[in-house]
Amino acid sequence: MKQQVKNIIFDLGGVLVGLDKHRCISAFEQIGAKAVAEYVRDHRTADLFYDIEVGQMTTADFCKEVRTMAGCNASDEEIVWAWNQLLTGIPQMKKKRLLALKPSYRLFLLSNTNEMHWKKCVTDDFTDAHMTERSYFEQIFLSYKMNIAKPNRQIFERVLNAAGIQATETLFIDDSLTNCQSAAQLGIQVFHETTGNDWLNKQEWDEDNLFG
């Protein structure tokens, strides 16, 4: 029998923030970085962008690497703009849902992300009407600041320890099945998000409606 959920850990991309790979591809093509656009199109982003997700590469170094790979003269600003086109924003209904959950659950964010994407989210999605990202989450855990990424089980262990929460009382919502499986190995309850909106329709998290 699953224990009652007291804590919810949210993923960012694909759960809260919408993703549009085709828009990102088009943007890289627009700035003359066709080789990078093809890299994104072929689902090889894990190879190219892993270093920035775990904080091993700065934004400036990333932009330099893109220019080298693509053989283009795009500016840092243009490259950051193109990469950020992957993100389509957080719908208001999701932010309202987070605020509605706060009185009943401790909410956390755990994301494989990079400095560029996070800055865009903070500026465009979380900063509104005297609200900030801290208005929605008790603690925020970002791969590029932690120097580790999902699905490495150590990242989940670090989150549990830092937050002072029990795995069996915690729900993890992520659009990656691999990430969910890794969290589940630690006893964390998981909800594999497949549409980006499934979690919005859950009225409560208990053993009768939770995906395990």
Q: Which pair of structure tokens corresponds to residue 78? A: 């243009």
This prediction has a pTM of 0.93
Per-residue pLDDT of the chain (212 residues; tens, 9 = 90+): 567 999 999 999 999 999 999 999 999 999 999 989 888 887 666 667 889 999 999 999 999 999 999 999 999 999 999 999 999 999 999 999 999 999 999 999 999 999 999 999 999 999 887 899 999 999 999 999 999 999 999 999 999 999 999 999 999 999 999 999 999 999 999 999 999 999 988 766 554 444 43
What domains, with CATH codes, occur in the chain?
7-18+89-201 (3.40.50.1000), 21-85 (1.10.150.240)
